[in-house]
Structure formats: C-alpha cells, structure tokens
C-alpha cells in the first residue's frame, strides 16, 4: 500500500486497538525500542509506546521497501529521530490512544495531533505559551478549547519541523493572523513553511502538518492484521 514517490504519506492508527498482538508487533521492535518501553511505569503507557515504535519502523520499512534491520535511527541535537542515509524523512505524533506517522522523500516534516478530550487548563496554557495576539483571540473565541488545540498543534508541528523541540519559544511566532491560519512572524509576515490540516478519521482529534512547501498528501487508516483503508 505504501510506496516511495512524490506524494507525502500519512498513516493513522489507534494505539489502544486490542487487535495488535505481540506476534505482529515484536518483530518490528529494536532493542532500544524495547528498552524505552520497559522504562515506562504504567502498563498502558508501555503498551502504547510499543505499538507506536513498532508501527513507525514497520511503516517506514514498507514505504522504502527495505527490511527493518536496515533502518538505523539517528537523533538530531534536540532528539528528533531521522534516517542517517537520508532516504526519507518522517515524523511520529501520538496523543492518548491515537497516533499518526507522516513520511516523505525529502524535506523536513512536523506532525502534531492532540485529543481535545484530554484534561488540560487550556486558558492558562494559552496565556503562558501563546503570542499575545493568539492569547487574546483564545479568550474571545466561541469555542476556546477547540481554538487552543488548533493553535497548539500548529505550534508543535512547526517546532517539530524545525527540529528545535521546545527550545524554540512558542510565543515568538503566530499560527493565526488576520482571521486566517498559517505560520507568521509577530508582525504577520508569512514564514517559509506551509501549514495544513490533513483529514483525520478521529473526530475528537486536532491535527497540523508543517512542510517547507505544499505537498499532496495520501492518507490511510491502518489496523491490525495489515488492514488498510484510504482516507478522503
């Protein structure tokens, strides 16, 4: 189903799907993946991490048509994983029981998704981390929870694409200006990045994808036993 071409591939999956079996997941886990999972205290966190790590390696392997043992993750200065041979770029994001992996032939990517149902003090977080114009718009919004997560995912996706992690101040750029979504400096000038909102099959999830340029995106929902379903 996945193939390396000019289109960006975006694959959604559910971490809590009971259909994921050890036989299906374990062959795709590296020793470092297993160690990472083992360090987590709560069983459901270990389980989610196991599914996320296994499916990331499986999907990249399928996209490149290469065996998993040929995939060697390196990490950038702020921890962003990448393939040392530069054969593709990818980004994994997960929130609660949902996850997505985006893969492209080249160009940095930033994907973020957030389950809007999770408990969060969104007004306080917006006041603390958003640019002042965004914080003001959050207070005025008719649906502040939804607006918060739309801003938050856009900011997270942008700093993931940059590879800076949270070392990049979230209040030093805008994701909403003059009644439109995008990426702007504090004066409203567009930044050299494209923000999109790909279709997500999970209605309670906000999502943002950031790339250097606008790219066609091919999206799927992936499930146990290799089940694929194309998304609109």
pLDDT digits (tens, 9 = 90+) for 180-198: 999 999 999 999 999 999 9
The arithmetic mean of pLDDT across residues 169-175, rounded, is 96
The pLDDT, as a whole number, for residue 144 is: 96
CB 130 within 8 A of CB 182: no
129 vs 85, residue with greater confidence? 129
Unique residue bearing structure tokens 């718009």? 137
Average pLDDT, the chain: 93
Helix, strand, coil % in the chain, rounded to nearest 5: 35, 30, 35
Say what the pLDDT of residue 161 is. 94
Q: What is the pLDDT at residue 77?
A: 73
Mean pLDDT along residues 11-33? 95
Q: In the CATH scheme, what is the homologous superfamily, with its name and number, of domain 8-230?
A: 4'-phosphopantetheinyl transferase domain (3.90.470.20)
Domain boundaries, the chain: 8-230
Least confident of 28-37, 136-145, 160-169: 160-169
**d(C-alpha 218, C-alpha 103), whole Å:** 10
């Amino acid at each position: 189903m996945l193939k390396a071409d000019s289109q960006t591939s975006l694959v959604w999956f559910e971490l809590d799907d009971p259909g994921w079996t050890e036989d299906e997941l374990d062959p795709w886990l590296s020793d470092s993946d297993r160690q990472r999972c083992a360090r987590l205290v709560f069983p459901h966190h270990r389980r989610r991490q196991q599914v996320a790590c296994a499916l990331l390696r499986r999907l990249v392997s399928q996209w490149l048509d290469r065996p998993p043992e040929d995939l060697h993750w390196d990490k950038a200065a702020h921890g962003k994983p990448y393939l040392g041979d530069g054969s593709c770029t990818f980004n994994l994001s997960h929130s609660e029981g949902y996850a997505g992996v985006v893969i492209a032939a080249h160009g940095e990517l930033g994907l973020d998704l957030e389950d809007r149902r999770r408990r969060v003090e969104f007004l306080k977080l917006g006041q603390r981390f958003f640019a002042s114009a965004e914080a003001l718009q959050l207070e005025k919004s008719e649906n502040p929870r939804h607006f918060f997560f739309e801003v938050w995912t856009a900011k997270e996706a942008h700093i993931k694409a940059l590879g800076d992690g949270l070392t990049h101040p979230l209040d030093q750029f805008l994701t909403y200006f003059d009644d439109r979504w995008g990426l702007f400096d504090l004066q409203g000038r567009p930044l050299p990045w494209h923000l999109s909102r790909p279709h997500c099959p999970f209605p309670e999830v906000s999502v943002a994808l950031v790339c250097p340029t606008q790219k066609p995106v091919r999206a799927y929902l992936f499930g146990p036993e290799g089940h694929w379903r194309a998304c609109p």
